[in-house]
Structure 1
Amino acid sequence: MFHGPTAIAAGLITQAQLRSPAWRRLLRGVYADADLPVTHELRCRAVARYALATGGALAGRSAATILGPGLSEPQDPVEVVVPAPDVRSRTSEVINHVADVPPADLCQVRGMPVTTPLRTCWDLGRWLPVTDAVVLVDRFLQSGLVTAPELAAYAARRKGLHGAARFASVSSLVDGRAESPQESRLRVALVLAGLPIPQVQWKIHDAAGFVARVDLAYPAWRIAIEYDGVWHANADQLSRDRRRLNRLQAAGWLVIHVTSDRLRNDLPSLLNELNGAIAVRR
């Protein structure tokens, strides 16, 4: 990875050679070997090395990806936080956030300046829509990078600051037991729609012992909510799912299955079903 204008000025490469298929543009002025797989981390590395102001750091969704629990794709813009506006990183490939970044909120990860896990969660809660922020903070909790008491203490120290109320809303919805992003999205959708907060990863037993652990549950009404990913369509998995469903029903549980299409495109109907099921079970 190298800075094109600097390499040309040093006589290491010509402008024509730089346009050849041998090189891949990562961001304005920065190139890499075309055979190098492009990941979000590679693009973060390019920004950190060539386009980040002194005192700045990778932040938000990019920091989450560098720290581990993030979900950024290679083509997603790189997010940074800088103490003052900086013209070098004003490109379509970089999202600039201007904010104070005390040294205690910074760490080094594989040679790159990155906001700490706690600061990253704070920024995600302030910058993203509530559901998107909860998805990522859930992953921080699940991975053990932060704990709920640490989040609460961090928020308490910043009470009254811009974005504190948003972060409090996110903190009230996070749950470190969530095992997938879509499970988090489903749980938040139910709560924001006014339904009771469901139990997460609830274990169900019958007289013979353990039956199943369901994604979400309302134990008082024996209602289970399961998010079915694509892998559930596998023939062997479908057979196991049906045996599991039969045992749950025999134990008196009503199971409502949710697919990605349903969650994305048919949420009002799903909410009606759940409200109806709760009314009957009550």
Structure 2
Amino acid sequence: MAARQHGLVTVAQLGAAGLDKDAIARRVRSGRLHRLRRGVYAVGHTALSREAQFLAAVLTAGEGAALSGLACAELYEVRRWRAPCIDVVAPKERRVRTNARIHKARLHRDDVTVHKGIPCTTIARLVVDLTDQITSWEIANVIHEAAFRGLFRLEDTCAAIERGRGRKTSVAKKAVQLHLDGSAGVRSRGELRFLIALERDGLPEPRLNTDLNGHEVDFHWPALKLAIEFDGPHHARTRTQRQDERKAEAWRSAGYELLRFAPEHVGAALRAVTMR
């Protein structure tokens, strides 16, 4: 049972297997069971995998609960960064001691699935839930990665957005539209800082990580005929430099001026856009 559940069992499962309170207590004292949270035990050791941490939070929240938010995106491997907190959505709020944030929500039957043995929200519902945590540009990247893995379905996502009325549906709709427009969304924190700065200064929003004359470019403005790339350390490699030269020639042949900046030079990139 524990092998199917990332090394975890619940007190209800132990009871169903024939162990009473005294039998469980003896196994805790001998180190065969380790109490993690109320009603949840690790079998044999407490060196929990990331998946076990997720499942422990869900099991503690009770029946009908599901992993959600950034932790759910991490489980699906559709976001680059580790979730800072484990979020769990449950049909009703419960006062439990857990390492997760418990969110009270009404879950439609189409909003919940099981991935890697862990009850979690679907990608469609995840798009809606993430609007409380990250920007539309970041959600567009989640959609891009989910589509690459065959997990994104437009019809299901639109239905989840409609069910999520009262949430930040405009953010979710923008993320979906970015995906439909061919954007891969935000790929780095530097790109996100630049987009936030553009919005703050009232500058025109660019097309983000989309195709331009056969090659993906970080940012470009068709009306300004301007393209901007933020180059990390890997662009110093000879092979990458040759690829960059081919891309630059393709963009120049399309009539675009290309400007390159280091990721930390957001201010210089902003000034370049302002001067256009």
Alignment of 1:130 onto 2:135: yes
Length, aligned pairs only = 252
Q: How far apart, in 1, do the equivalents of 2:270 and 2:109 lie? A: 45
* 2:117 corresponds to: 111
Q: Is the 8 A contact 2:28 2:35 kept in 1?
A: no
Within the candidate set 219, 222, 236, 1:219 is matched to: 222
Where does structure 2 lack aligned partners over 5 or more consecutive residues?
1-6, 12-20
CA RMSD of aligned residues (A): 3.8
* 1:12 corresponds to: 27
- Show CA shifts across 1:2-50 (max 9, x none): 46997983422427x58xxxx99976875466695733x23112223x4
Q: How far apart, in 1, do the equivalents of 2:253 and 2:80 lie? A: 38
* 1:271 corresponds to: 270
Equivalent position SS for 2:61: coil
Q: Percent of pairs identical after alignment?
A: 21
Q: How far apart, in 1, do the equivalents of 2:148 and 2:140 lie? A: 12
Q: How far apart, in 1, do the equivalents of 2:273 and 2:35 lie? A: 49
* 1:189 corresponds to: 196
* 1:81 corresponds to: 89
Shift of 1:188: 4.3
CA gap 1:135/1:240 in 2 versus in 1, 3 angstroms:
closer
One-letter amino acid matched to 1:275: T
- Show CA shifts across 1:238-271 (max 9, x none): 3442454356456643222344433xxx4x4432
Q: How far apart, in 1, do the equivalents of 2:221 and 2:79 lie? A: 29
* 1:68 corresponds to: 77
Q: How far apart, in 2, do the equivalents of 1:110 and 1:248 lie? A: 42
Q: Is the 8 A contact 1:135 1:185 kept in 2?
A: no
Shift of 1:51: 0.9
One-letter amino acid matched to 1:102: H
Q: What pairs up with 1:170-249 in 2 under 5 angstroms?
A: 170-174=172-176, 175-176=178-179, 177-178=183-184, 181-182=187-188, 185=192, 188-189=195-196, 192-193=199-200, 194-199=202-207, 200-204=209-213, 212-242=215-245, 244-245=247-248, 248-249=251-252
The two structures have a TM-score, normalised by structure 1, of: 0.70
One-letter amino acid matched to 2:212: K
Where does structure 1 lack aligned partners over 5 or more consecutive residues?
205-209
Alignment of 1:253 onto 2:245: no
Shift of 1:153: 4.1
The two structures have a TM-score, normalised by structure 2, of: 0.71
4+ aligned runs moved over 6 Å, structure 1: 3-8, 23-29
Within the candidate set 118, 121, 126, 2:127 is matched to: 121
Q: How far apart, in 2, do the equivalents of 1:102 and 1:215 lie? A: 37
One-letter amino acid matched to 1:44: F
